[in-house]
A and B are shown apart, each in its own frame.
Chain A
Amino acid sequence: MTHAVDESFVPARGDAVYAVEVDGEAVLLDEERGRLHLLSATATLVWRCFDGRASIGAIVADLSDILGVDYETVLADTLTVVGQLVDEGLVRAVEAPSAARPPRRRPEP
C-alpha cells in the first residue's frame, strides 16, 4: 500500500536504517540496500522528528513554531525532504494513520 506524502502522512524511519549524526548532519546507513546517505542540516532536523506517531502536519507545526518560519514554507520543504526519503526507501508510512496525532495547523494571524 502506498501513501500520498501530504500533511496526514505519518513517517517512520525504516527498520533497516541506522543514523549517526555529526555536527547537525545525519549519515544514514540503509543496511538492506547497502547504501549510505548524507542528509543536509535541514533534512536532519526533519529526520529527528520521525517517531512513527506524529503526522507531517504536526511535525511542520512544531518546526514552524520553533524556527519562527511560516507554516506553508516549512511544509513545502518538509514534503520535499520526506518525498525524497520515501523514494530512497529510508522512510515508510505508518500503516494506521487514523491513530496518529492529527495535523496541527498554526492559527491564522
Chain B
Amino acid sequence: MLVSSRFRALTFRFDVAAPSVEPIACCERLFANLAVASRAPIHHYRIDDADTGYELRLDGHLIGQAAELSRLVGDLAADANRHAVSSSATLTLHAGGVERDGVGFVFPGASQAGKSTLVAGLTRGAFRYVSDEAVALDWRTLAIRPYPKPLGLDRGSWELFPELERRACAGGADEWLVPVDADAVASPCRVAVVAFPRYEKAARTSLEPLRRAEALIELTKNTFRFDALGRRALRVLGALVREVDCYHFVIGDVDDACTLVEELARSPRRSDAAST
C-alpha cells in the first residue's frame, strides 16, 4: 500500500493510501498546496480497487464508490472540504476570495452564485488565490487564512477557461478540479472588500454599495455553522463589516466583473456606485 504526503484542509489533516501509484499521484497533484509536514494526528483516506471501479474509505468507513478514479478523487476532495469547513477553529465563510498586494477581496454566496468562476477569472490576472469556496478568518485578528483547495469549475464555466482543461485532474463529468499554481496562492491578508456575487445571465455587471448592517445579515447566511457559533460569530462579523466596503455584485459577464474588481483594487474606497 502506498501512502501520500500529509495534507491539511484548514484544520482537517489527512493522508491518502492506495494500492497503486495513479491515485496517489492524482492526490499529490491535486492537494499540493495543502501539503504539510505536521506530525499531528490525522485522518486516513484509502482508495481501493473494486469490482465496479473504486471505493473510498475514511478511517476505515466506506464513504464512496465510483466507476472512475477522477470522480472518486473528486468525492474525496469534497469530503475533506466538508470536514474543513465544519471546524470552529476559524470563522469560515462560504465564499470565494482573492488577494492582491496584501489586500483581501471576499465574495460570499451560495452555490451557483458565481464564486468559483469569478475567482478563476481574477486569478488569471494579477490576483492571488485564497479559495473558491471557503474563506477562513482568524477569530481574533480577522485576517484571512488562505485555503488553497483545488479550484472547482462547473461545466457551465468551462468554455470561459479552456486553458484549465489540461490541468484538471479530478472531478468527474460535470466538474473540473484544478490545482492552483503554488506561486498563485495568496498570503495571509486583511479583508478590504466584501461583495456578494449573483450570477444573472445577460445582466449588466454592476457593483452597488450595500449597507453594512445588510451585509452583516448576508454574511451570517454565508457562514458555515453560524447557528452553532451564534453570538460569537455575529460579534466578529460585525467587527469585520465595520472595516470593509460592502457591495451587491451582479455578474452578467465574468470579464466585466474582473474589471470592476480591478478598479476596486486600484482605489479600494467606497464609491456611490460602479458599473460597466
Contacts and interface: CB of A to CB of B under 8 A. Distances in A.
Interface in A17-38: 18, 20-23, 25-27, 29, 31, 34, 36, 38
A98 B212 CA distance: 40
Contact of A27 (B227, B230, B234): B234
Nearest to B233: A29
Given A20-B238, A22-B212, A22-B241, A27 B217 contact: yes
B110 interface: no
Contacts of B211: 23, 25
A16 B214 CA distance: 21
Nearest to B214: A38
11 contacts: A18-B231, A18-B234, A20-B235, A22-B238, A22-B241, A23-B211, A23-B212, A25-B213, A27-B217, A29-B230, A31-B230
Contacts of A20: 216, 234-235, 237-238
A26 B241 CA distance: 13
> Which has the most chain B C-beta neighbours within 10 Å: A18, A22, A26, A36?
A22
Interface residues of B, number: 16
Interface in B137-179: none
A38 B213 contact: yes
Nearest to A24: B213
B5 interface: no
A22 B242 contact: yes
Nearest to B241: A22
Contacts of A22: 212-213, 216, 238, 241-242
Contacts of B234: 18, 20, 27, 29
Interface string B226-268: 0100110011011001100000000000000000000000000
Interface of B: 211-214, 216-217, 220, 227, 230-231, 234-235, 237-238, 241-242
B217 A18 contact: no
Given A22-B238, A22-B241, A27 B213 contact: yes
Interface in A45-60: none
A34 B234 CA distance: 12
A41 to B, nearest CB: 9
Given A18-B230, A18-B235, A34-B227, 18 more contacts: A18-B234, A20-B216, A20-B234, A20-B237, A22-B212, A22-B213, A22-B241, A23-B211, A23-B212, A25-B211, A27-B213, A27-B220, A27-B238, A29-B220, A29-B230, A29-B231, A36-B220, A38-B217
B213 A23 contact: yes
Contacts of B220: 27, 29, 36
